[in-house]
Chain A
Amino acid sequence: MADMMQFDLVSPERRLASVEASAVQIPGADGDFTAMANHAPVIATLRPGIVTVQGANGEEKFVVTGGFAEISPEGTSVLAERAMPAGEMTQEVLDDFVTAAVAARDNATPEMHDQLAKQVGDIALVASELGLQAKV
């Protein structure tokens, strides 16, 4: 049995998870990584993606858009701007995300454009993983 650590997933509106986990996969802005117990302290920003938690009762998935993760040897906290259990992700919510991301991209200054365009792509990727269709 791997070592367990505390995992918290909070958004401004609610606390989605506060469980013991053995490993957490995090979609970092510079690439995915997995945090386990006794990880070196890291603070990393997130891109839209899926956080996968290996907990005592199996695997849980959460969709997050933006925010950051704070990892210390004792635990991992993900502070996401918007987050929800993967099961709650519906076509409507997805459409909302896509519209917001596309609008942000189109109103962006040229230097921000690439970054925001990547966000739109990330959201589309999340959608395809969940078997939904992003209308970009």
Chain B
Amino acid sequence: MPSLKDLKNRIDSVKSTRKITKAMQMVAAAKLRRAQDAAEASRPYTERFNAVMAGLAKAAAGSEAAPKLLRGTGSDKVQLLIVMTSERGLCGGFNSSIVKKAKSHADKLVAEGKTVKIITVGKKGREQLKRDYSEYFLDHVDLSDVRHIGYDNAQSLARDVIARFDADEFDVATIFFNRFQSVVSQIPTAQQIIPAKFDEVESEAEQTGMVYDYEPSEEVLLATLLPSGVATAIFSALLENAASEQGARMSAMDNATRNAGDMIEGLTIQYNRSRQAVITNELIEIISGAEAL
């Protein structure tokens, strides 16, 4: 049985924990709004871009002259996984869910006899992958100094990835990130970015039934736009991830705050009971002492 003093200390400490988690929840909520705005702001660009690319890609598909970024190297022996996680913890299952997805994908590929290479974005994912997968590590992108993810960040990562692709370091690249669904649900997603895929997007021409003229030629256009396509895919993944991270942190902190509240309630009841017991005890002692006289 803990003493009154111990209980009091516990209650105080849980109370200050609750204050911290409450504050973190509110900060996450504010950041979430900003991250969501950023993700929303990028959507018109991404949608338009993909629609145009889908049209171009369909026209070029199957042709020998199609750029390598679209056609692929013709093999899928060497797979590059780009795992995007957060720089900070305390965001519930956010990082583990991406890492789990990436791990199962990597295991599957290794079982099929393929070579796996990993680039990590964000410290937390790297830490979790380090134990079993460090031999596959290729590079790490540190975004801890970046307060707002800009297109520049995505572009520099894309450039790096494309340079590696051009140097024949891998055949297929897949990005892993959490797609933002709502505050309580983020969906770990794997998306192949090289060779580029636009299957699921309906092309502009199909939507409007229009035939576009291309200037310069379709091939040149496709060749110039494909690298941007990689950057765009990475950028939107980074933004989705940022929004998901804040969402996950917000709900994790909300849970923590609620748990702390429950705990304080329980401890307070225990505290009051033992205080009552102490008083009753003292009274009994006094009374029985008086009766004995």
By beta carbon, the residue of chain A nearest B56 is A43
Structural contact, B49 and A15, CB atoms closer than 8 A: no
The verdict on B93 contacting chain A, using a C-beta distance below 8 Å, is no
List 17 extra interface pairs beyond A40-B213, A42-B212, A79-B49, CB under 8 A.
A10-B44, A12-B45, A12-B154, A12-B232, A12-B235, A13-B38, A13-B41, A14-B41, A42-B213, A43-B56, A45-B216, A45-B225, A66-B228, A68-B52, A70-B48, A77-B48, A81-B228
Structural contact, A10 and B45, CB atoms closer than 8 A: yes
The verdict on B104 contacting chain A, using a C-beta distance below 8 Å, is no
The verdict on A27 contacting chain B, using a C-beta distance below 8 Å, is no
Which chain B residues lie closer than 8 Å to A70 at the CB level?
48, 52, 204, 212
Which chain B residues lie closer than 8 Å to A10 at the CB level?
44-45, 48
Contact with A along B266-288 (1 / 0, CB 8 A): 00000000000000000000000
By beta carbon, the residue of chain B nearest A13 is B151
Which chain B residues lie closer than 8 Å to A25 at the CB level?
none
Which chain B residues lie closer than 8 Å to A14 at the CB level?
41
Contact with B along A21-54 (1 / 0, CB 8 A): 0000000111000000000111111000000000
Structural contact, A43 and B45, CB atoms closer than 8 A: no
Which chain A residues lie closer than 8 Å to B46 at the CB level?
12
The verdict on B65 contacting chain A, using a C-beta distance below 8 Å, is no
Structural contact, B44 and A43, CB atoms closer than 8 A: no
Q: Residues of B within 8 Å of A, CB-based: how many?
A: 31
Min CB–CB distance B28 → chain A (angstroms): 22
Majority-rule SS of A interface residues:
strand
List residues of B (233-289) whose CB comes within 8 Å of A's CBs: 235
By beta carbon, the residue of chain A nearest B208 is A72
The verdict on B16 contacting chain A, using a C-beta distance below 8 Å, is no
List 15 contacting pairs A-B, 8 Å CB cutoff, sorted by A.
A10-B48, A13-B42, A13-B151, A15-B41, A42-B214, A42-B215, A43-B52, A43-B212, A44-B215, A45-B215, A66-B228, A68-B52, A72-B208, A79-B49, A81-B228
Min CB–CB distance A67 → chain B (angstroms): 7
Q: How far is the CA of A67 from the CA of B151 in the complex (A)?
A: 13
Structural contact, A68 and B151, CB atoms closer than 8 A: no
List residues of B (142-190) whose CB comes within 8 Å of A's CBs: 150-151, 154-155
Min CB–CB distance A126 → chain B (angstroms): 19
Contact with A along B44-68 (1 / 0, CB 8 A): 1110110010001000000000000
